[in-house]
Amino acid sequence: MKSKNAVLVGALMGAMLATPVLAATGEACLQHNRIWGWRALDERTLVATDQFQHRFTIHLQGGCVGLTDGASQLVFRTWQNLSCVGSGDLIGVRSPGVGFVTCSIADVQPGAPAAAPH
């Protein structure tokens, strides 16, 4: 019985270690390695979706040239790590006609931004 409990405790500890702890401020965590898709709302705002279909709004510092081009590609240099995407992280955008541009993240918020009133 002790070995079964040890295996169960070990599995639970492993799951806890593989899942990043959310910040004390209650921020949601968009992990680099779990980004499934994204779309640009404008040159300063991205909406990303993770593998669990959670949506996040990513605000960029300044504009990111080429971000809104439908053929652009988003490049994180840390795709393989388990940390949360956050303020100060750099992303790259590769788009036709512009080339590669590096942009800095200002913040990441859970959910998609509210629709603008008409």
Residue 32 has pLDDT above 90, yes or no: no
Task: Please state the domain count of the chain.
Answer: 1
pTM: 0.72
**Residue 17, in any domain of the structure:** no
> What is the pLDDT at residue 29?
92
**Residue 7, in any domain of the structure:** no
**Residue 18, in any domain of the structure:** no
> What CA–CA distance (Å, rounded) separates 76 from 89?
9
Q: Could you report the per-residue pLDDT of 55-112, keeping only the tens digit for each?
A: 999 999 988 999 999 899 988 766 556 789 999 999 999 999 899 999 999 999 999 9
Q: How far is CA 88 from the centre of its chain?
A: 13
**Residue 21, in any domain of the structure:** no
Higher-scoring residue by pLDDT: 12, 26: 26
Q: How far is CA 17 from the centre of its chain?
A: 19
Q: Which of 75, 78, 30, 73 is nearest to 51 (CA)?
A: 30
> At 10, which helix (H) or strand (E)?
helix 2-18
Q: Which residues pair with 59 in a beta bridge?
A: 45, 107
- Residue 5's SS3 state is helix
